Amino acid sequence: MASRTNLTRLASALPRRSLSTTTPVSLSSSSPLSKLTGRNALLTTPVAKVPRTASKWGLVNGGRRLASGEASGEGSTMTVRDALNSAMAEEMDRDKTVFVIGEEVARYNGAYKVTKGLLDRFGEDRVIDTPITESGFTGLAVGAALAGLKPVCEFMTWNFAMQAIDQIINSGGKTYYMSGGNVPCPVVFRGPNGAAAGVGAQHSQDFAAWYGSIPGLKVISPWSAADCRGLLKAAIRDPNPVCFLENELLYGVSFPMTQEELGEDFLLPIGKAKVEKEGTDLTIVAHSKMVTHSLEAAEILEKEDGIKVEVINLRSIRPLDIETIMTSVKKTNHLVTCEGGFPAFGVGSEIIAQVCESSAFDYLDAPPERITGADVPTPYAESLEGLAFPDTPLIVKTLKRHLCESLIASRSRIRTRLQICSFALRLNRQAIDPHDGLAHVSLFALFGTFTKTGS
């Protein structure tokens, strides 16, 4: 049975403002787990600061985010915002049936400037401002898709899309099925999802699990600029309704880009996860901004303790790439999921359920574990908001504890098995001729041992 990290319980122990002064216990040796010998290994090991020069995770030059196209010394870079903008522009150039609709997407260039310049380039007929009525303009987008156009419907935030959930699910997600496969609905719903900063409980929800449970919808949760370019272009070309869940806090972050990723024909397959960092000791599966924290945590654990964590960027919530996760679990024998949504009925719960129902279950050395947002509406106060979502120190601490408890449990299981085997062997010595009134008993270690009746 999967356990869950209680963020409220652990929050007071996290060194969020300063490092612990406790002398660390070194975990590095020939085996990464060799010195994780007890619970004290967790309690006496401080959590290090996140390195702010980890350019491969989107932060460069001491934490300064690069402007679009600015060189990082590793080639071309692009912000998530510009990746989304260029993907839409290229698809609008390629296909005249593609258009953008939403609040302030035209003259204001979008609430987060993601649609900047599209009005000047494509005109009012293809970049359409709407009143503040999500149900209305979402219905227009779905109707246009059913009529053969390819709308990209922007929500100022996915929290406001709750006003249009009937159009998204009942009209968009079910028409293809209800028409017997005759009427496709090629519409993309996109906008920022999850928590931002100081916007309160009603504007800070992660909808990945909400829409991920609906047959007929495809749900994407990208992380990097390459994810956004390749997956948004694929979503626009897909004949099905796609929910594209962006993250406001990632819009200004730059990522290195290859020439292939900058190409106009660059596409990523929907429903395929990516192993961002290979490892052998533990698998962590994350999506959106939690990929950044997971990679930072993996870097810290490998540098300080020799623990090699495999980090999987989920990319697609529905369809879920369970095969990539299973392959990783069979290699590392440990599974932890990380998300910013609520713990109950979340993405991590579904991943763990599918792994436990699969052949990968037999490879697990410990119960899978979830790292999630707190089970409360998101607080408005900054000091409380920071405790409501996973961060790098929490992930580091959770992964260390997970491996500690796994090692303790495995040693306990070995002792128990040895005791059972010893007991069974003692009984086995009492076995006599089979014709002398023997009883048939069963033990965990030796099934079908024959002993004297009553012994």
Task: Give the residue numbers annotated as catalytic, written as ranges.
Answer: 134, 203
The phi and psi torsions of 56 (rounded to 5 degrees) equal -70, -15
Contact 278, 84 (CB under 8 A): no
Residue 118 carries which side chain, given as an amino acid letter?
A: L
Tokens of 175: 């028409």
416 Cβ contact list (under 8 Å, min separation 6): none
Integer angstrom CA distances of residue 54 from 50, 149, 307, 380: 9, 42, 18, 30
Taking alpha carbons only, the member of 191, 268, 263, 215 closest to residue 237 is: 268
Residue 328 DSSP one-character state: H
- C-alpha 338/C-alpha 285 separation (Å) is 6
Phi and psi torsions of 318, nearest 5°: -140, 115
Amino acid at 203: H
Half-sphere exposure of residue 42: CA atoms within 13 angstroms, side-chain side = 21
Residue 301 CA to chain centroid, in angstroms? 19
Q: Kindly give the pairing relationship between strand 282-286 and strand 316-318.
A: unpaired
Region of 3 (left: φ > 0; alpha: ψ -120 to 50; beta: rest) is beta
Phi, psi (deg, nearest 5) at residue 433: -55, 130
Name the amino acid, one letter, at 222: P
Q: Report the half-sphere exposure of 354 (CA within 13 A, side-chain side).
A: 16
Greatest Cα pair distance in the chain: 98
Q: Per this entry, what is the length of the chain?
A: 455
Task: Decide: 287 and 315 in contact? Cβ < 8 Å.
Answer: yes
For residue 11, count CB atoms less than 10 angstroms from its CB and return exposed for 0-12, middle for 13-18, buried for 19 or more. middle
Residue 163 structure tokens: 């006003």
Containing H/E element for 387?
Answer: none
The Cα 294–Cα 299 span in angstroms is 9
In which residue are the tokens 């989920």 written?
Answer: 314
